[in-house]
Amino acid sequence: MPRIKPFEIKTKVGIVGVIVLIGSVLGLILKWQDFYEFLVPKGVWLNWRFVIILAIVTGLVVWFIMNELWKIEFDYHETSKYEIENLRNQLNMSEQKRMTDIITGVPNSNMLQEDIKEFAQTKAKTTEIQIILIDIKKFKEINRRFGYLKGDKVIRLVAQSIYKSMRRNEDMYKHSGIQIESRPFWKRLYRRYPGGDEFVFLIEGNQAEAVGFVNRLVFQFQNISSETTKILGEKYPLSFCCGLCPLVYKDKFDDALERVEDCFMRAADGTSDFSICWHPTTEEKKLLATDAYRKIYEKARDLFEVMNMEDAPNP
């Protein structure tokens, strides 16, 4: 239902009103005796003409006062509405910045934490989710040889190139690393990477579909490598190591990242350009019965040095 606005006296309306008022005053001065006889016949004030005119005048005065008060309140409400809308927009922008990595422009670990929480609350019973952690190999050499500013440009190129090609069942996050001070001492000892060039992906689907995703990443990295000339002045081959495991129902953020990091650390032992470790292997054995999934695993073994957690040396 449309809102009723207070009546505003415009300039033209005000001029007409002033002219009418002046004309009425002049007429009253010139014909005051006739007006008095009309209003107070035979000197009797309490008559129907006087009462009607008094009611009209009183009504107009009350209406004018109430309309002015209404207008003041209406303007204040409109101002408050715009202020609230501006504050809401600022809060949305602030929240978006809080959830976005400042260098790469993709969602950050805060957003990853929220999405893992949402999965635990709403999707876990009906949806399979795979969590993937990748780390760009020898990225420190770019920072050392070309400087951190160009290194930031390369990492943004990688992030934006991948992010723009994501499908609806795939999500990407810039991973800044877990607060390792809160982890057990023996867990801190083997963490060999600082968190500057890592990305996390959540893939909706089974393990084979997640492996298919990282297969595509290999070709994307090859294409991105050819574009590094624009930033570094020379082509720099980019590659990555990758850990992949399922997101478990009721996983907490740190638990999920710790599990995929354990898998990733096994992949980091690889010596080839691209290395991967997926876990558990029992899932692979089950999916190999499907021809399409079997081809995905075969392709992964052509592209990656595949490491197995079961074959990892005891710590």
Q: Is the dihedral of CA 58, 63, 68, 72 positive or negative?
A: positive
Complete DSSP assignment for 113-166: HHHHHHIIIIITTT--EEEEEEEETTHHHHHHHH-HHHHHHHHHHHHHHHHTT-
Can you give the pLDDT at residue 36? Answer: 65
Task: Please choose, from the candidates 72, 132, 115, 159, the residue with its C-alpha nearest in 3D space to the C-alpha of residue 264.
Answer: 132
Q: If you ran DSSP here, which 8-state letter would residue 109 be given?
A: H
As a whole number of angstroms, the distance between CA 38 and CA 35 comes to 5
Tell the residue number behind the tokens 């606005």, with chain if given: 5
Whether the model clears a pTM of 0.85, i.e. scores above it, the answer is no
pLDDT tens figures, 212-260: 999 999 999 999 999 999 999 999 999 999 999 998 877 778 888 888 9
- Percent pLDDT > 90 in the chain is 43
Can you give the pLDDT at residue 8? Answer: 60
As a whole number of angstroms, the distance between CA 178 and CA 176 comes to 7
End-to-end CA, the chain:
71
- Domain 109-311 sits in CATH at 3.30.70.270
As a whole number of angstroms, the distance between CA 225 and CA 277 comes to 23
Average pLDDT value for residue range 70-76 = 79
- Sheet of 275-278, strands arranged across: 170-175, 198-204, 129-136, 240-246, 275-278, 305-306
pLDDT over 70 (residue 272): yes
pLDDT tens figures, 140-152: 899 999 998 999 9
- Cβ-proximal residues to 295 (8 Å cutoff; 6+ apart), any chain: none
Identify residue 255 by its one-letter amino acid code.
D
More confident residue, 19 or 102: 102
Where along the chain do its domains lie?
A: 11-98, 109-311
Tell the residue number behind the tokens 């294409």, with chain if given: 223
| Residue 265 to residues 180, 242, 268, Cα–Cα distance (Å) | 15, 9, 5
